[in-house]
Structure 1
């Protein structure tokens, strides 16, 4: 089997309402898909992390830098392909967009491997440790609205009533404003629903310590990306100063980037982003690092149904940690904000929301060969932009 072509598809449409996080607001929804074709008629799909203008930069890297290096190779040689691309790009990008671009290609190669073996990808990774995967709802993104606390409270109740047993909200407006937002959500959902907050590295360590102490009183389960990803010492200081879990890792790349983050005990919960850190091939190495240091993993998930479907396989194959008769199960992060690329992209939708509502908070494992995330060609043609 040989790779005959690699295509990059950037999809985009205008949102009805602007959404944001601590660093920016955006009015367009973007997804970047990678399609790898073979001479045996098997096609694989992957996704690259990064929206907006980043997606267009990554498209160029996929098609004009990576594709010429790997077309003609056997798609089953995933390690060989990964190291060939990384070694030739090492002088130009050990982190960031080149690795995001490589991630989408690598994920598509795993999809091809599963289809070639006629089995789900999690079986290629060693099998499933669970029959169902718990899901937490991600929503409550920042908006330039005067009544944001009321909006967050109302949205949080909708997420809870949709069947999610836990949820995550954005913060990053300043400690005082953040506390008011979290208080509004906690009052709305009550004490029995799990709550996490994501600051998208908005704070200094000193600010984050003070804010974290207030979040502890509101029974927040984890404080995500409180400081800049480069601030390793800040992360370590927060882990030592606070009782609530410090989470991070979505902005890190490759085993070498995660080596110091994990080895330095900089986070209580590691959040690898498979569509950005180097794909499934590299994710497995990062997972091994985390397990060797007894750091729990809750994958970061952001993007289209391709990213969601990919993470279903990763979470299915994630061992119970640390193991026992009643282990804590890994959760799937699921974006509940409006996203046509999540709900309408696939020929056979994942129906995550429907499953969560029917089951009370979990989803079944995929059963199709590969990743089971084949997009609708007509949908791609309609939303693709150059």
Structure 2
């Protein structure tokens, strides 16, 4: 079998309302899919992390930089392909967009392997460890509102997420330390003291501000404090981890086993959040997961994107063993976007694929399908309708 072409599809549509996080507001939702075709008629699909114009830059890397390096290669030689691309790009792209682009290609190669062997992805990476995966709702994005207006919006949204049977939920912060704690207190009051609540700062703080917020989160029994400081600030992560009780989570902006080795070696995090569509794909994710396991750090994948990303992550979590294990283990969770209806999740696949319906029906859990590969096939007509041609 040989790779005959690699196509990159950037999809985009306008949201009904502007949403944001600590770094920016945005009015459009985007997704970046990668399609790898072979001479046997088997097509693999993957996804690259990176929104907006970043997706357009990654499209160029996929088609103009990576494609010429691997056309004619056997797509089943995933390890060889990964290292060939990485080694040839090493001088220019050890992190960031080149690795995001490689991630989408690599996921598509695993999809091809699954289709070739008629096996679901989870069987290829170790088999089923979890028949069901708990799901947490990710919502409460920032908007251009006053703090009091946001408090009302967040309280309403938190109630809706809880009512849909999610096992936990995550909210955004980033207005400033004092205002952020007002938001978190309001949400905690609505969901109750026994419901698992997480907080995501998207590296908005310096160390002192993060310590202020973190101590406030300790009083509110928050499950984790996500990306409190800049991803490069290993010393800040380590000091914050030592000085507050709330779990420190991070890693979505870390790349490859090399970067993750530094993050773990520096004792920066309590919970690892690898982003398979960004860190180097499934080939590299498996190595990062092994690093985390070797250091007894729980893995809760970062998930943001289309149905392709969600399906891929559901397979990865299905195959993830309990750590450290026991009669009543703490299970990893699947992150699921509960903001304004995301048609790249609901309408992209040709197969029936609804995490939200599973969560409602199964009291907060979702199960993977046994379809070959990642288990879903994007609808080409849908792609054509929403593809950006720039």
Please state which band the TM-score falls in when normalised by the shorter chain.
Answer: over 0.9
Distance 1:245 1:267 in 2: 8
1:311 pairs with one of 272, 288, 313: 313
Distance 2:88 2:375 in 1: 31
Equivalent residue, structure 2, for 1:78: 78
| SS of residue matched to 1:385 | coil
| SS of residue matched to 1:183 | helix
Equivalent residue, structure 2, for 1:31: 31
2:363 pairs with one of 329, 352, 360: 360
Q: Is the 8 A contact 1:312 1:366 kept in 2?
A: no
Equivalent residue, structure 2, for 1:337: 339
Equivalent residue, structure 2, for 1:263: 265
Q: Is the 8 A contact 1:137 1:335 kept in 2?
A: yes
CA drift at 1:349: 3.5
Cα offsets for 1:93-112 (capped at 9, x unmatched)? 10000000000000000000
Equivalent residue, structure 1, for 2:249: 247
Q: Structure 1 length normalisation: TM-score? A: 0.99
Cα offsets for 1:204-248 (capped at 9, x unmatched)? 111111111111111110000000000000000011001110000
Alignment of 1:109-128 (within 5 A): 109-128=109-128
Alignment of 1:62-211 (within 5 A): 62-146=62-146, 147-211=149-213
CA drift at 1:192: 2.4
Question: Which deviates further from its counterpart, 258-267 or 269-278?
Answer: 258-267
Aligned length: 386
Cα offsets for 1:252-288 (capped at 9, x unmatched)? 0000000110112110001000000000000011111
Equivalent residue, structure 2, for 1:20: 20
Distance 2:375 2:130 in 1: 18
Equivalent residue, structure 2, for 1:272: 274
Q: Over aligned residues, Cα RMSD in angstroms?
A: 0.7
Q: Is the 8 A contact 2:311 2:368 kept in 1?
A: no
Distance 2:272 2:36 in 1: 30
| SS of residue matched to 2:140 | coil
Q: In structure 2, list runs of 5 or more residues that go unmatched.
A: none
Cα offsets for 1:168-204 (capped at 9, x unmatched)? 0000110111011111111111122210000000001
Distance 1:317 1:353 in 2: 21
Distance 1:255 1:360 in 2: 35
CA drift at 1:324: 1.1
1:377 pairs with one of 365, 368, 380: 380
Equivalent residue, structure 2, for 1:9: 9
Q: Structure 2 length normalisation: TM-score? A: 0.98
| SS of residue matched to 1:37 | strand
Q: In structure 1, list runs of 5 or more residues that go unmatched.
A: none
**Which 4+ stretches in 1 moved above 2 angstroms?**
none
| SS of residue matched to 1:196 | strand
Q: Is the 8 A contact 1:15 1:27 kept in 2?
A: yes
Distance 1:319 1:263 in 2: 22
Distance 1:88 1:27 in 2: 36
